[in-house]
Amino acid sequence: MNRKQVIAAAAAGLALCAAWMMRSSDVVFGQPQPSVQVPKFRYDPTFPQPLPEKWAIGAIGGMAVDSHDHIWVLHRPSPLQKNERFAGAAMTPPRAECCIPGPPVLEFDQDGKLLASWGGPGQGYEWPTTEHGIFVDANDNVWLAGSGDKDAQVLKFTTQGKFLAQFGHQGKSGGSSDTQNLGGPANLTVDSVNHELYVGDGYRNHRVIVIDTETLTFKRMWGAYGNKPDDQDLGPYKPDAPPVRQFRLPHNVTLSKDGFVYVADRVNDRIQVFNRDGTFVREGFIAPRTLLAGSASGLAFSPDQRFLYVIDGANHHVWILLRETLQVVDHIGQQGVFGGSLNVPHALAVDSSGNLYVGENFDGRRFQRFVYKGMGAPTGQTLPPPKP
């Protein structure tokens, strides 16, 4: 090796070392960046308006905003039916005046008024055992997924709840190479221009899969870094080890207006970006020493798409990233059960005005709105409530 080659190799080694230090440091990725103006939010206690008195709401499996700025919530009523505290009125004979689990699909207007509710088992389709993921496309088709042990399907409905089509079948999953079924799909999004459905197929499979929205036939798929997906056992996540070359749990997928596919690889504490054909572009890490369920769950863009919002259920935050660099510049939220706090946030959506909608899992069982209030310095907090 000549002198120039030695210098080049040394420089490359230093660059790799620096990148690894940035990846491994919670300070770099978790601290506000004071030179950047970031979106600011204030909790809205008026959203939603009161639901029917006897309804009980389960863990929030997904949230979406449609082209009319209506807010869609997908929750999980089935576990409530087994708990008399939430389903006493639904038991035979009734054991209390309250409650009855609400329908799993809820539609709200901007005032927080409930417009429609529907969903559950029916003729001609297989309703998921664990509701997980909802998206409303530009043609007002509602797409639903499920992460239950046997769930291997996505469903297509009208906004009134009329069943249209199904891809995959319960109990038929053949792993990450299967082109006819899914394996615990976590979330999904639609490219209405190109008639393509993108699915983060992640609770048992380890891939992004693309399906034609008109024919519901397979088109393509990929794993982490654009690799061919496989189902090898990656072992436990280790923050100081080199990044693994496959997804552990692609928990969310979304598309930017300029044609990039963003994937939240939850347990690996990272976001990966691809071209629509699956070519890997870049990645960024979120609180990379998080060892619980992972720090990268849900994804949504600001209306101008300058910022990427990332749900972190383990640390009870919504992280704010610069979309182009995936640099964390701020976060909102802290753990708590009071209004404006976050308790295992799990689902995320943004409307055309830049307002955030956050749904919670497990003990939270609620969804909240955080109103966009303009730009300001990073603080790691939501704005205080307005004075009376």
pLDDT in tens, 206-233: 999 999 999 999 999 999 999 999 999 9
Q: What's the CA gap between 13 and 17, in Å, rounded?
A: 6
Give percent above pLDDT 90 in the chain: 83
Query: Looking at residue 221, what is its pLDDT?
Result: 98
With tokens 């053949």, the residue in question is: 174
Q: Which of 360, 358, 370, 271 is nearest to 321 (CA)?
A: 271
Q: Partners of 358 in the beta sheet?
A: 348, 368
Give pLDDT tens digits for 41-97: 999 999 999 999 999 999 999 999 999 999 999 999 999 888 878 889 999 999 999
Residue-wise burial string across 335-373, b where 16 or more C-beta atoms lie within 10 A, e elsewhere: eeeeebbbbbbbbbbbbeebbbbbbbbeebbbbbbbbbe
pLDDT for 380: 82
Identity of the amino acid at 317: H
Segments of the chain scoring below 50 in pLDDT: 1-22, 24-32
What does 30-75 look like in DSSP terms, one character per residue?
A: HS--TTS-EEEEEEETT-SPPPPTTEE---EEEEEE-TT--EEEEE
- The pLDDT score that the predictor gives to residue 388 is 56
Amino acid at 4: K
Question: How far, in Å, are 19, 21, 50, 340, 342 from residue 45 at the CA level?
Answer: 42, 41, 11, 8, 14
Domains and CATH numbers, the chain: 31-376 (2.120.10.30)
Q: In this structure, are strands 105-108 and 280-285 parallel, antiparallel, or unpaired?
A: unpaired
Structure tokens at 264: 């939240």
Alpha-carbon span 194 to 112, nearest angstrom: 32
For residues 365 and 71, is the Cβ–Cβ distance under 8 A? no
Length of the chain equals: 388
> According to the model, what pLDDT value does residue 85 have?
80
What pLDDT is recorded for position 5? 45
Return the closest-CA partner of residue 354 out of 340, 371, 366, 339.
Answer: 371
What SS3 state is found at 362? coil
Q: Can you give the pTM of this predicted structure?
A: 0.90
pLDDT score, position 387: 62
Q: Beta strand 55-56 with 100-101: parallel, antiparallel or unpaired?
A: parallel
146: Cβ–Cβ under 8 A, 6 or more apart, which residues?
127, 128, 129, 130, 131, 132, 133, 153, 184, 185
